[in-house]
Amino acid sequence: MTSFIGSSQAERQNLITELVLKNTSVSIQELAEMFQVSAMTIHRDLDELEQQGILRKVRGGATAQRTYLFESHLTYRMNACQEEKEAIAQAALAYVEPGEAVILDDSTTILTFAKKLVDISHLTVITNFFSNIEVLRGLRQINLIWLGGDYLFRYNAVVGDLCEAMIRSVRANTLFMSSSAVSQGYAFHQEEMIVRVKRAMIESASRRILMVDHTKLGKQALRQLAPLTMFDLVIVDSLSDPDQVEKIRDLGVKVEVVPLVKRGKV
């Protein structure tokens, strides 16, 4: 195992998260030595991670939060597979026409996509995800319809009956969606509230595009979200297992495999 010394705060917290997920518990002294920082700094890291619901602080260290064994928190997810998400988002841009209405769901993949929509004129964007709204709200050329409902801090999005009702009262050309896992002909997600919203979104869009990076393929999560046959297109990156891709194609679902763009600098 290589040295962790000199990692940035974000790196350190991600490594701590991995450690605690793997070993189910860590001690503060251990971590302080490992990263060559003061115990106070580790305390602060653990406080943050606890706040995010990733782990639970206990005397002398921290233990894993069972609920998060699969799906970790937003800020952590955002760091993962960014390169793949960029490539997938870029490819998805081809399916947006000026003047259309699109629905964007709450996921970091789609957020990457949203950031690329700034150049498209007269677009109507419908979303329940606060981060999307923050990115798009300043743009004059985008007509932003934001979905209301109960705000869920953990996902930074709104959900619930009110939200579903509102989704049912709008219509969009295309839905751009991601999910936690894809396997056995289904897309999965672990949170019931979110699943319900995503299902409503599927119903309200004429065309549905599912965007997932290779780490999601072959995985499962708690709840079936929708059969893949509901989607008109699945976009994945080129690191995906060809077998998995083939299985999806066997269902009669179109799959687009996008190559990763070479990263200019590390």
Partner DNA sequence: GAAGAATAACACCGAATGCTGTTAAATGCA
Partner DNA sequence: TGCATTTAACAGCATTCGGTGTTATTCTTC
50 to 89, contacts with DNA by CB under 7 A?
A: 57-61
121 binds, among a second copy, DNA, none (CB under 5 to 8 A by kind): none
Q: How far is the CB of 195 from a second copy (least distance, A)?
A: 19
Our finding on whether 40 is near DNA (CB under 7 A) is yes
- Which residue, among 7, 5, 6, 26, has the nearest Cα to 16 in the 3D structure? 26
Using DSSP's 3-state secondary structure scheme, residue 167 falls into helix
Q: Report the alpha-carbon distance of residue 123 to residue 138 in Å, rounded.
A: 13
For residue 112, count CB atoms less than 10 angstroms from its CB and return exposed for 0-12, middle for 13-18, buried for 19 or more.
buried
Instruction: Return the range that interacts with DNA (CB under 7 A); candidates 30-38, 119-127, 185-193, 216-224.
Output: 30-38
Cβ-based nearer residue to DNA, 29 or 229: 29
Cβ-based nearer residue to DNA, 37 or 135: 37
Q: How far is the CB of 264 from a second copy (least distance, A)?
A: 31
Our finding on whether 141 is near DNA (CB under 7 A) is no
Instruction: Return the range that interacts with DNA (CB under 7 A); candidates 41-49, 96-104, 119-127, 205-213.
Output: 41-49
252 binds, among DNA, a second copy, none (CB under 5 to 8 A by kind): none
Beta bridge partners of 187: 182, 226
Q: CB count, 10 Å around CB of 239? A: 16
Our finding on whether 28 is near DNA (CB under 7 A) is yes
Our finding on whether 38 is near DNA (CB under 7 A) is yes
Structure tokens at 235: 């976009």
162 binds, among DNA, a second copy, none (CB under 5 to 8 A by kind): a second copy
Q: CB count, 10 Å around CB of 266? A: 3
Structure tokens at 63: 């233990």
Q: How far is CA 43 from CA 50, 51, 58, 90, 159, in A?
A: 10, 12, 11, 39, 33
Looking at residue 245, its amino acid is V
239 binds, among a second copy, DNA, none (CB under 5 to 8 A by kind): none
Residues that bind DNA (CB under 7 A): 8-9, 12, 28-29, 36-41, 43-45, 47, 57-61
